[in-house]
Amino acid sequence: MILYRLRCSAGHEFESWFRDSKTYERQERRALIGCPICGDTKVERALMAPRIGKATGAVEVEPPAAAPAPEAPAVPEAAMAAMTRRMPKELRDALLKARAEVEKNCDYVGGQFAEEARKIHYGESDKRGIYGETSDAEAEALADEGIEFGRLPWIPRGN
Ligand SMILES: [Zn+2]
């Protein structure tokens, strides 16, 4: 599973999970990817934000420290809940959907994420989608090694 940051022709940015880059390309060609804000299917890949945690506008929400972890230490649960309440409903729904997809399709590896991602990348583990937590430093190291992964703001379920 990889997370792409996408931008529709109206300039809305959003993130979406794909099985792999080919899946994205196929869906993009068939106009199967819709902007969650305006429904536009003319989307293109935006650059992944290299740093998580910068202030953002109302639509392009990039929550602070978006490690995909319910207990990510960088994001106190209360802060995450407050942030979630400020999100546009469409974005919240999209994130919840993404979370559910990840939970359904990927193996949870907890704090072993970086280690396991490397094993998969180098063929020591079965190729599969995984999710878990990792530190900023580890995430940068993975990116340097050319390992594909994405970050998902792990927003709380419920209201
Ligand atoms: Zn749009």
Given pLDDT bands bounded at 50, 70 and 90, which one contains residue 16? very high
E runs forming strands in the chain: 2-8, 13-18, 43-45, 107-110, 130-132
- The alpha carbon of 83 and the centre of ligand 1 are apart by a number of angstroms equal to 21
Q: What's the pTM value of the predicted model, to 2 decimals?
A: 0.44
If you measure from the C-alpha of residue 87 to the centroid of ligand 1, how many angstroms do you get, rounded to a whole number? 16
* Ligand 1 centroid from CA 120, angstroms: 34
Could you tell me the distance, in angstroms and rounded to a whole number, from the CA of residue 102 to the centre of ligand 1? 23
CA of 103 to the centre of ligand 1 (A): 26
**Segment 24-46, tens digit of pLDDT:** 999 999 999 999 999 999 999 98
Q: Which of 40-44, 98-102, 103-107 has the highest mean pLDDT?
A: 40-44
102-131 burial code (b ≥16 CB/10 A, e <16): beeebeebeeebbebbbebbeeebeeebbb
Three-state secondary-structure class, residue 109? strand
Q: How far is the CA of 133 from the centre of ligand 1 (A)?
A: 30
Distance 12 CA to ligand 1 centre (A): 4
pLDDT tens, residue by residue, 112-150:
888 888 888 888 888 888 888 888 888 888 888 888 877
pLDDT of the residue at 58: 45
* In the predicted structure, residue 95 carries a pLDDT above the cut 50: yes
In this predicted model, which residue has the larger pLDDT, 68 or 110? 110
Domain boundary assignment for the chain: 2-144
